[in-house]
């Protein structure tokens, strides 16, 4: 027969920490603490399996449950020497929910269950404090009325407030025992009025009511929504914990507190916590009385004069400090604990792994390795790579007041405030006058680059996580909130409307690129610092990872940032970004408007020296690290003037007729530019463009060799290849160009030619394409767009809806879609390596900086990931984690096989 109820206590403990699935987190840890001899008020846990039973059986309980609960209560009574519902010596209990993971929206707690008009007198007599007893009783009715009977909490508050007003009181502590008695009567009258039934006085009825309330709360809308968002299956269910009450508010020898075994904000290894004498747990967090520090050290740190627990309850504190050490040794993790001291006796009510800041997480990880509590691998696995972002970018001062106006996508991390500008030109002008600027655009285009550079942060009302604004901002390390759809921007009028606020150019706003929040005015920020712990963790990560980590970078600034953060090369240098430089765009446009190959050649010759210098600058920074350079990718119309003014200016300076310019613009217009005349298709129709770029790359590499004595092996990458022939033809072009350059200079160098795999067809025919490629770099942005038929710029309008409906677990442009895009990557990797065993494989899409996607890359056997410079540390840690996990899984697999063999 299924066991539904698991006791814990001094005499009998049936659970363990690793039974979290059955007992929930709280129940499992209570049992574990009992097992290791810590003082825990006895109790029992009704398992999560019962929750599942309850919902599959039309909200009925199995027959055996009542008997099990009754037996468990008896055990409780025995251990406590009290009796449930006994008028003289009443046992009171708390009832709490407890799922596998902590989950908001669920019923939280009912305390003091078991009190009624009779037992309250017993409690009064036993504690010698009628005021305490009646206060406990009214607290019970309030909680039970709210969470079990559904009577609104504020209706109870109203009664209490009226009473205090009538009496002229301001504090609850002024209410006398008779006052509480009157309030209890009023509370019960309220419950009768609201529910049509008298407030239950039978402790058994109270208990079953609370148990059912916990199970019912599993299916309230808030809980369902939370589970959906966090991908928690409904059939996990919740457990119910019933535990003997202990009181921290029975007098001056009582206390209650919460603590962390180490400082959760810095990670420092000292006992960090707060307590209150003669108080219940809720008082510590309610903020009416000022909680006091546990330790002398903590008190001094805070500059507080209120005595620490270490000072006024030295014996109990010593016990508690001992518990702290025991827990850390046992769990090998920093713990978040709750305790109560009842009449001088310490009780542990909860322990769980403590939440912490990223800085603290790093320090704790490093310290625990040094303390030999955990291995490097374990320490690395406990860190959240994404959280490292906090350390690399300015963050909002958590203490500052924020008026949130809107929420967009957290497109590029970091927080920034500044004066709003609606055009790139205005942003640049104001910034050069010394102002800090937030550039606000519906969406950005390559023409806005100078304004984005000038701005401290970027806000757009359209576009997704991989929109132009998002990608460029991440590359530059500028905070960016993208696709804040509720903002209505009128660039002509230089205004925007957010949540009914009209904001004009020059008004201050603050954006948080880590959360997507847009705030009114200036919210102070905190500048980042890289600690020694960070350096240690990165060093460990580097020794544990197999994959290399490169950066996507094209400017010297990006490249320097990348090197600073530990990039081992450039995985993607997007040459087109170099074409937007105002000093060159004129030549680029002349090249596009050239009507003959000769004219185009002339314009390209003007671009050649600048382009060569671009690469030389990158090579100098990267020294002999690999640099992958992607030849021109975007459609040519991206380089053309768009506004009437620009068209006029360009026509004038190029000596062209304006209508002629407009006609060419119309000719180059595309219905779906993402699928248009771009990538290698440009190289095939205008081979002279690619020839110029290849020449610039090789001339720069030759100069490195001759002048700097550094051997660079440039990796020339052909984009958007779908057909084997495309690569074959362009490879030949590159090789011929190389031969010409080598002949001119009289020197040769090695170089690689490879391709992006960013079209499904390329992945599917990778065996053929690999014949002409030395490397594949998975361009997962475009590969996601084509595999899913989903434009990253246009999907924002329904992406939310898709995630809410559970169609996407996560935005596929942020986290790789394994079933679809991932399948293609696996096919390509396997077919590619079948053709060429030593084919170098990497990823250079946005996913290269996403931990879950990096894990996929490790599993697929890629050689490196490449991401924006600011994500390099994240990628280093994520790659290490993936490597460690894969090794563990494989050695587990081996042991299993070994065991099987032995058994066979």
- Shortest distance, position 758 Cβ to its own copies, whole Å: 7
Q: Of residues 468, 544, 577, 847, which has the active-site annotation? A: 468
- Shortest distance, position 678 Cβ to its own copies, whole Å: 9
Only segment of 58-66, 427-435, 705-713, 796-804 that touches its own copies (CB under 8 A): 796-804
Question: Under rule CB under 8 A, which residues in 39-98 are in contact with its own copies?
Answer: none
Q: Give SS3 for 663.
A: helix
Dist CA 383 CA 880 (whole Å): 11
The alpha helices in 254-375, defined as continuous H runs, are 281-286, 296-302, 309-312, 314-331, 358-370
* Binding of its own copies by 805 (CB under 8 A): yes
Q: By the 8 A CB rule, do 86 and 119 touch?
A: yes
* Binding of its own copies by 797 (CB under 8 A): yes
Choose, by CB under 8 A, the member of 525, 785, 815, 866 that binds its own copies. 785
Give me the residues paired with residue 407 across strands. Answer: 517
Instruction: Read off the DSSP letter of residue 711.
Output: -
* Binding of its own copies by 790 (CB under 8 A): yes
* Binding of its own copies by 759 (CB under 8 A): yes
Helix 582-593 / helix 658-668 crossing angle, nearest 10 deg: 80
Dist CA 275 CA 273 (whole Å): 7
Q: By the 8 A CB rule, do 884 and 876 touch?
A: no
Q: Which is nearer to its own copies, 676 or 861 (CB)?
A: 676
- Shortest distance, position 515 Cβ to its own copies, whole Å: 25
* Binding of its own copies by 447 (CB under 8 A): no
- Shortest distance, position 760 Cβ to its own copies, whole Å: 4
- Shortest distance, position 682 Cβ to its own copies, whole Å: 9
Largest CA distance in the chain: 106
Give me the residues paired with residue 396 across strands. Answer: 525
- Shortest distance, position 729 Cβ to its own copies, whole Å: 6
Choose, by CB under 8 A, the member of 791, 835, 852, 860 that binds its own copies. 791
| 513: Cα separation from own chain's centroid | 12
- Shortest distance, position 767 Cβ to its own copies, whole Å: 10
Question: Under rule CB under 8 A, which residues in 808-827 are in contact with its own copies?
Answer: 808, 817, 819-821, 823-824
* Binding of its own copies by 335 (CB under 8 A): no
- Shortest distance, position 640 Cβ to its own copies, whole Å: 15
* Binding of its own copies by 352 (CB under 8 A): no
* Binding of its own copies by 448 (CB under 8 A): no
Choose, by CB under 8 A, the member of 542, 760, 774, 886 that binds its own copies. 760
Binding mask 589-628 vs its own copies (x if CB under 8 A, - otherwise)?
----------------------------------------
Q: Which is nearer to its own copies, 374 or 790 (CB)?
A: 790
* Binding of its own copies by 761 (CB under 8 A): yes
- Shortest distance, position 631 Cβ to its own copies, whole Å: 16
Whether 573 is catalytic is no
Binding mask 658-687 vs its own copies (x if CB under 8 A, - otherwise)?
------------xxxxxxxx---x--xx--
Q: Of residues 34, 421, 573, 844, which has the active-site annotation? A: 844
Only segment of 311-319, 594-602, 640-648, 791-799 that touches its own copies (CB under 8 A): 791-799
* Binding of its own copies by 725 (CB under 8 A): yes
Instruction: Read off the DSSP letter of residue 811.
Output: -
Give me the residues paired with residue 406 across strands. Answer: 518
In a 10 Å sphere around its CB, with 0-12 CB exposed, 13-18 middle and 19+ buried, how is residue 674 labelled? middle
* Binding of its own copies by 224 (CB under 8 A): no
* Binding-site size, its own copies (CB under 8 A): 49
Q: By the 8 A CB rule, do 338 and 257 touch?
A: yes
Dist CA 451 CA 446 (whole Å): 10
Only segment of 609-617, 645-653, 703-711, 753-761 that touches its own copies (CB under 8 A): 753-761
Choose, by CB under 8 A, the member of 36, 234, 594, 729 that binds its own copies. 729
Q: Give SS3 for 548.
A: strand
Q: Which is nearer to its own copies, 772 or 782 (CB)?
A: 782
What Å distances lie between residue 841 and 296, 566, 863, CA to CA?
A: 57, 20, 5
Q: Which is nearer to its own copies, 361 or 733 (CB)?
A: 733
Q: By the 8 A CB rule, do 236 and 103 touch?
A: no
- B/e letters for 347-366, b = 16+ CB within 10 Å, e = fewer, are bbbbbbebebbbbbbbbbbb
* Binding of its own copies by 788 (CB under 8 A): yes
Only segment of 118-126, 234-242, 419-427, 755-763 that touches its own copies (CB under 8 A): 755-763
Dist CA 74 CA 626 (whole Å): 72
- How many Å is the Cα radius of gyration of the chain? 33
Phi-psi region of 292 (alpha: psi -120 to 50; beta: other; left: phi over 0): beta
What tokens appear for 709 in the block? 């004595």
Q: Which is nearer to its own copies, 307 or 676 (CB)?
A: 676
Q: By the 8 A CB rule, do 866 and 854 touch?
A: no
Dist CA 117 CA 159 (whole Å): 19
- Shortest distance, position 725 Cβ to its own copies, whole Å: 4
Choose, by CB under 8 A, the member of 716, 720, 733, 749 that binds its own copies. 720
Whether 468 is catalytic is yes
DSSP structure string for 549-598: EEEE--SHHHHHHHHHTT--SEEEEETHHHHTSHHHHHHHHHHHH-SSHH
Residues 6 or more apart whose CB falls under 8 angstroms from that of 68 comprise 3, 4, 5
Q: By the 8 A CB rule, do 316 and 344 touch?
A: yes
Residues annotated as part of the active site:
468, 844
- Rule CB under 8 A: which residues touch its own copies? 670-677, 681, 684-685, 720, 722-723, 725-726, 729, 758-761, 764-765, 768, 782, 785-791, 793-795, 797-798, 801-802, 805-808, 817, 819-821, 823-824
């Amino acid at each position: 027969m299924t066991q539904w109820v698991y006791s814990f206590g001094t005499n009998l403990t049936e659970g363990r920490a690793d039974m979290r699935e059955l007992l929930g987190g709280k129940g499992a840890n209570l049992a574990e603490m009992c097992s290791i001899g810590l003082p825990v008020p006895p109790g029992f846990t009704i398992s999560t399996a019962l929750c599942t039973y309850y919902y599959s059986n039309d909200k009925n309980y199995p027959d055996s449950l009542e008997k099990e609960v009754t037996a468990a209560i008896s055990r409780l009574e025995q251990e406590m020497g009290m009796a449930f519902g006994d008028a003289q010596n009443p046992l009171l209990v708390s009832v709490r929910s407890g799922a596998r993971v902590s989950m908001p929206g669920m019923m939280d707690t009912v305390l003091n269950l078991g009190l009624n008009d009779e037992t309250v007198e017993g409690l009064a007599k036993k504690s010698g404090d009628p005021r305490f007893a009646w206060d406990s009783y009214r607290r019970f009715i309030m909680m039970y009325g709210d969470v079990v009977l559904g009577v609104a909490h504020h209706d109870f508050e109203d009664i209490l407030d009226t009473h205090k007003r009538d009496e002229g009181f301001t504090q609850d502590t002024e209410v006398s025992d008779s006052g509480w008695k009157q309030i209890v009567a009023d509370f019960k009258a309220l419950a009768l009025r609201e529910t049509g039934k008298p407030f239950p006085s039978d402790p058994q009825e109270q208990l079953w009511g609370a148990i059912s309330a916990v199970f019912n709360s599993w299916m309230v809308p808030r809980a369902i929504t939370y589970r959906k968002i966090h991908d928690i299956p409904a059939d996990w269910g919740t457990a119910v914990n019933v535990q003997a009450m202990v009181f921290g508010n029975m007098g001056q020898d009582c206390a209650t507190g919460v603590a962390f075994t180490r400082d959760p904000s810095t990670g420092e290894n000292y006992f960090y916590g707060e307590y209150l004498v003669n108080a219940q747990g809720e008082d510590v967090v309610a903020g009416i009385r000022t909680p006091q520090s546990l330790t002398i050290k903590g008190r001094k740190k805070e500059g507080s004069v209120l005595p620490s627990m270490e000072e006024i309850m030295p014996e109990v504190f010593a016990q508690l400090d001992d518990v702290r050490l025991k827990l850390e040794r046992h769990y090998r993790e920093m713990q978040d604990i709750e305790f109560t001291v009842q009449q001088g006796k310490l009780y542990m009510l909860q322990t769980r792994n403590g939440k912490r800041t990223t800085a603290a997480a790093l320090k704790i990880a490093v310290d625990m390795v040094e303390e030999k509590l955990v291995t490097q691998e374990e320490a690395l696995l406990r860190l959240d790579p994404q959280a490292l972002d906090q350390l690399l970018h300015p963050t909002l001062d958590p203490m500052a007041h924020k008026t949130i106006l809107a929420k967009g996508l957290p497109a590029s991390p970091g927080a920034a405030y500044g004066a709003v500008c609606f055009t790139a030109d205005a942003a640049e002008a104001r910034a050069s006058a010394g102002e800090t600027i937030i550039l606000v655009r519906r969406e950005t285009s390559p023409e806005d680059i100078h304004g984005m550079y000038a701005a401290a942060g970027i806000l757009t009302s359209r576009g997704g996580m991989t929109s132009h604004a998002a990608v460029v901002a991440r590359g530059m390390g500028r905070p960016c909130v993208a696709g804040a759809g509720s903002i209505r921007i009128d660039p002509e009028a230089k205004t925007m409307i957010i949540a009914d606020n009209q904001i004009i150019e020059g008004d201050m706003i603050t954006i948080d690129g880590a959360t997507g929040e847009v705030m009114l005015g200036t919210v102070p920020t905190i500048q980042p610092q890289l600690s020694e712990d960070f350096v240690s963790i990165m060093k460990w990560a580097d020794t544990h990872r197999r994959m290399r980590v490169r950066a996507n970078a094209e400017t010297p600034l990006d490249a320097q940032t990348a090197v600073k953060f530990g990039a081992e090369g450039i995985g993607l240098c997007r040459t087109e970004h170099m074409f937007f430089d105002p000093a060159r765009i004129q030549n680029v446009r002349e090249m596009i408007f050239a009507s003959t190959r000769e004219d185009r050649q002339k314009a390209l010759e003007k671009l050649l020296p600048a382009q060569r210098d671009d690469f030389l600058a990158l090579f100098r920074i990267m020294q002999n690290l690999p640099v992958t350079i992607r030849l021109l990718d975007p459609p040519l119309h991206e380089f053309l003037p768009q506004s009437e003014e620009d068209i006029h200016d360009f026509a004038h300076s190029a000596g062209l007729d304006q209508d002629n310019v407009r006609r060419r613009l119309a000719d180059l217009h595309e219905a779906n530019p993402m699928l248009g005349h771009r990538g290698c298709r440009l190289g095939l129709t205008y081979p002279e463009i690619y020839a110029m770029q290849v020449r610039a790359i090789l001339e720069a590499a030759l100069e490195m060799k001759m002048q700097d004595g550094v051997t660079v092996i440039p990796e020339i990458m052909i984009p958007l290849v779908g057909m084997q022939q495309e690569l074959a033809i362009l490879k030949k072009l590159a090789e011929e160009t190389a031969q010409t350059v080598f002949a001119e200079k009289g020197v040769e160098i090695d170089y690689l030619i490879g391709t992006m795999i960013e079209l499904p067809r390329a992945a599917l025919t990778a065996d053929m394409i690999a014949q002409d490629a030395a490397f594949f770099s998975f361009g997962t942005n475009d590969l996601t767009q084509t595999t899913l038929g989903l434009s990253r710029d246009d999907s924002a309008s329904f992406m939310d809806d898709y995630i809410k409906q559970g169609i996407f677990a996560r935005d596929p442009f942020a986290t790789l879609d394994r079933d679809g895009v991932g399948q293609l990557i696996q096919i390509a990797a396997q077919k590619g390596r079948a053709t060429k065993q030593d084919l170098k494989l990497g990823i250079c899409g946005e996913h290269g900086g996403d931990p879950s996607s990096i894990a996929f890359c490790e599993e697929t056997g890629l050689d490196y990931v490449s991401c924006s410079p600011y994500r390099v540390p994240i990628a280093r840690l994520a790659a290490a984690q993936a490597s460690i996990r894969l090794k563990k899984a494989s050695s587990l697999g081996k042991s299993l096989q070994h065991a099987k063999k032995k058994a066979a």
